Structures are given as structure tokens and as C-alpha cells.
Amino acid sequence: MGRFQPFHLGHLDLTKQILEECDEIIIAITSSQFNYLEKDPFTAGERIEMIHNSLKESDVDLSRCFIVAIENQFNIATWASYLKTTLPHFDKVYSGNDYVKMLLADSAIDVVSPKFLDRKQYNATRIRLMILSGDNWQNLVPISVVKFLDKINAKKRLGIISKSDTKPTEY
């Protein structure tokens, strides 16, 4: 599970790691209802496209991958049951987020702590800031993500969002 704003090489590495341990993977795009916001600038459809193209260019067997967009739930106590009814069947969840671990463990869902690449370097917030400032971010994401973000002019979008005093939603 993740917001994938944008999908980066750390996400790709984790996907490959999980596929070495499991028959299939469900990549659940959270916060799918949020977009064009500083924290969530890309739409669910754009994130699906970035992930799909990244897996395809990396020769990941797409028949073993589900990419699903899910909305955030505001009743946190029912989140685990929401996941069970919204996602295809799953046996475990990979997460490095202690909050997620707590919520899912309380619902008897097995949570596995993955081995992350350098989380300081492969961090979507940092990558968005690098895109905005014109720093070299291209080596932190798959080539298909670079092409996609260039195609949608992500730098311009991020710039407009960052300067806007319009806050269409607070969450």
C-alpha cells in the first residue's frame, strides 16, 4: 500500500522483493480520491499508469500483479474490514508504517516489515521537491516515470499547486 506520488525505484525494488516471496502482489494505491494537492499531486489514473509502465519496462510479470486504487476511509476503526472487502484476497500486507502495522495487527492481519532501499533517497516527498526545484531527480524513478512526468508537465503542475492559496480539501 502506498500513495506512490510518484512511483520511484524504491517502490519498484519492493515490488520485486515481494514477488520473490509471494505468487502475486496487490499494489494498493491509497488516497485515490485526492489529487492536484501538494501532498497528492497526481490522480489515481496517473499513478496506475506510472506503476503499470514501470513494471512493464522492468520485465515484471504483469499477470502476477494487481494495481488497485482505494479511497481513504475516515472511520479508521473499520479500515481493515474495508481493505478485506475492497481488495482481492490477500494473506499479508507489507508495510514499514507503524500506524498501518498497529491498525492491521489489531484486525489479525499479518503485517511484514519489508527491506527498503535507502528511504532517505527514495522518498516521494523529496522527489517532488526535487522536480519543483529543478534538481536531478530522474535517477530516482524508473525511466517510464520520467517520461510520464515530463509528458504531463509535472514540474509546472507542482509549481502551480505549491504557490496556490486554494486548499480544496484538508485531510
pLDDT band at 92 (very low <50, low <70, confident <90, very high): very high
Domains and CATH numbers, the chain: 9-163 (3.40.50.620)
Count of Cβ atoms closer than 10 Å to residue 26 Cβ: 18
Taking only the tens place, the pLDDT of each residue in 44-77 is 999 999 999 999 999 999 999 999 999 998 888 8
Count of Cβ atoms closer than 10 Å to residue 121 Cβ: 13
Q: How far apart are CA 103 and CA 106, in angstroms?
A: 5
Instruction: Provide the whole-model pTM.
Output: 0.92
